[in-house]
Structure 1
């Protein structure tokens, strides 16, 4: 019990004094996750808008696949990306394995289905309200998509934050493709796993405090945005 309290006190001290290692790992985690979030949102949001406004033969199949991929095991994604980026893989020539870029690629693959599925649900509901108006105005497909994306921007930000929440807490895939290399690819989740295994509970707890803080901030943001979205509709 004494060791636990000592570890908590030391971890709290590392956080409030902005320990160099703690700060470096946190900033790298944010860099990787925010980069993945921007790329994933740029892919997922237009895809969700397209699925909302356009009817085509494979549409329901695409939606079903996106919903199914929301539960895709991250370690499987990590394994696939590892094989693709390894020296014997098709993209091995680029030397991306065990780099932050490889971690970003893995996170993008993981969160694109999540963001697209949540965004599609919101855009589909909005499309039922806007359908007759936009059809009567004879606007183009792209204009319909832009209108939906703009008017549903709060709900779409919520979808993106949900993707951020999943990505920042991911460990399996980025451990495989990043290698958890010190001062190169070590992020919050992989560092927590490593430091716990080494018995360095103070740093592990400090990293855990930061991760919990980020998760709470994201969840509070989602709650606030969801509430303001509902109030805006009323």
Structure 2
């Protein structure tokens, strides 16, 4: 009990003093996950909208693949990205292995299907009451996609928050691709795992409290935005 109390007290001291190592790790985590979320949004939102409006026989197969990809094991994603970025891999010349850029790539691959699948459902729901109006205007699929992305922008913001929350809490893929190098690729989740194994509980606890706080803030923001949208349209 004494060890837990001492570790908890030391963790609070680290947080209160804005420890430099703590700040560096937190900032890198936010930067990597935010960049990955933006890239995943650029890929996943148009893809989700396109699938939502498509009417081909292959559509259901794509939906099944997207939904299945939402549950991709992070270690599998990490392995695939590692092989792509390794010296003998097709993207080895980029030199991204064991760098923040490689970690961004791994997180982007991981959360793009999540954003695409959730965006597909959101856009499909938004399109249903507007389909006849779009048809009367003779809008092309591209015009419909652009219009629906704008109309559903607040709902899609919730989707992006969900993607960011998933990215910042990820550990397996970023550890494999980033290497957990001090001062370079060490983020919150990988540091928690490392410091716990080393017995440095204060730093692990401090980062754990920060990570939980960030996840709660993201989810709280998503819920608040959702309630605001319901009141706005209700």
Structure 1 residues 117-141: Cα deviation after superposition (integer angstroms, max 9, x where no partner):
1111111011111100111111222
- Calculate the aligned-residue CA RMSD, in Å: 0.9
Structure 1 residues 170-205: Cα deviation after superposition (integer angstroms, max 9, x where no partner):
000000000000000000000000111111100100
Task: Specify the SS of the correspondent of 1:81.
Answer: helix
Task: Confirm whether residue 183 of structure 1 aligns to residue 183 of structure 2.
Answer: yes
Unaligned runs of 5+ residues in structure 2 are: none
Counterpart in the other structure of 2:76 = 76
List aligned pairs for 1:81-230, cutoff 5 A: 81-230=81-230
Greater shift after overlay, 69-78 or 92-101?
92-101
Task: Specify the SS of the correspondent of 2:170.
Answer: coil
Q: Size of the alignment, in residue pairs?
A: 234
Shift of 1:60: 1.4
TM-score by length of 2: 0.98
Task: Specify the SS of the correspondent of 1:78.
Answer: helix
Structure 1 residues 13-36: Cα deviation after superposition (integer angstroms, max 9, x where no partner):
111211000000000000100000
Counterpart in the other structure of 2:25 = 25
Counterpart in the other structure of 1:44 = 44
Structure 1 residues 193-233: Cα deviation after superposition (integer angstroms, max 9, x where no partner):
01111111001000011101100001101111111122222
Distance 1:108 1:118 in 2: 15
Shift of 1:59: 1.5
After superposing on structure 2, the runs of 4+ consecutive aligned residues of structure 1 that deviate more than 4 Å are: none
Unaligned runs of 5+ residues in structure 1 are: none
TM-score by length of 1: 0.98
Task: Specify the SS of the correspondent of 1:223.
Answer: helix
Distance 1:91 1:45 in 2: 25
